[in-house]
C-alpha cells in the first residue's frame, strides 16, 4: 500500500517539474526580442531643452557615446525619446557597421538642426578624445 502512495507522489512531482520546465522555456523565449530595437519602427519626436540637457549630462557622466545612450535611455522622461535612444544603442551594439554617425543622426536624433549640431559636437569630442597625443611623463 505505501508503494502506491510513493508512486503517485513521484508521478505528481515529475509532472510539476515538467510543467515548471515548460513555463521556464516559454518565459525565456518570450523574454528575448526577435528583432533588435533599431530595426523596429521608431516614433516621431521633437526634443525639448530638457532632453538635450539630459543628453549633455549623460555624456559628461558616461564619457562615451554608448554610455550616454544607455543613461539617456534610463533617465529621460520622454517615452518616445527613450525608445529612440535604446534603438541607437542597439544599433551600436548589434548592427553590422556600429558607427556613431548613423546611431546618433538616424536613430537618436529628432531631425532638427540644433540636435544635429549637438550630436556633431559630441562626435567631435569623442574623436578628439581618441586622437589626442599621450602626455609625456616627467623624469624620463
CB 76 within 8 A of CB 54: yes
Write down the pTM of the prediction: 0.73
Closest CA to 110 of 81, 140, 78: 81
Alpha carbons 91 and 105: distance in angstroms, whole number: 12
The pLDDT value given to residue 1: 54
The pLDDT value given to residue 110: 92
58-92: per-residue pLDDT in tens?
999 999 999 999 999 999 999 999 999 999 999 99
1-16: per-residue pLDDT in tens?
566 788 888 999 999 9
Amino acid at each position: 500500500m505505501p508503494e502506491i502512495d510513493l508512486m503517485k507522489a513521484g508521478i505528481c512531482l515529475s509532472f510539476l517539474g515538467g510543467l515548471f520546465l515548460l513555463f521556464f522555456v516559454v518565459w525565456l523565449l518570450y523574454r528575448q526580442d526577435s528583432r533588435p530595437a533599431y530595426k523596429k519602427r521608431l516614433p516621431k519626436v521633437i526634443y525639448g531643452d530638457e532632453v538635450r540637457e539630459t543628453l549633455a549630462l549623460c555624456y559628461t557622466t558616461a564619457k562615451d557615446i554608448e554610455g550616454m545612450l544607455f543613461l539617456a535611455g534610463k533617465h529621460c522622461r520622454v517615452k518616445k525619446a527613450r525608445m529612440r535612444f535604446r534603438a541607437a544603442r542597439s544599433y551600436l551594439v548589434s548592427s553590422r557597421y556600429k558607427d556613431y554617425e548613423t546611431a546618433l543622426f538616424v536613430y537618436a536624433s529628432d531631425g532638427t538642426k540644433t540636435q544635429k549640431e549637438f550630436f556633431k559636437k559630441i562626435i567631435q569630442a569623442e574623436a578628439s578624445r581618441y586622437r589626442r597625443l599621450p602626455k609625456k611623463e616627467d623624469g624620463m
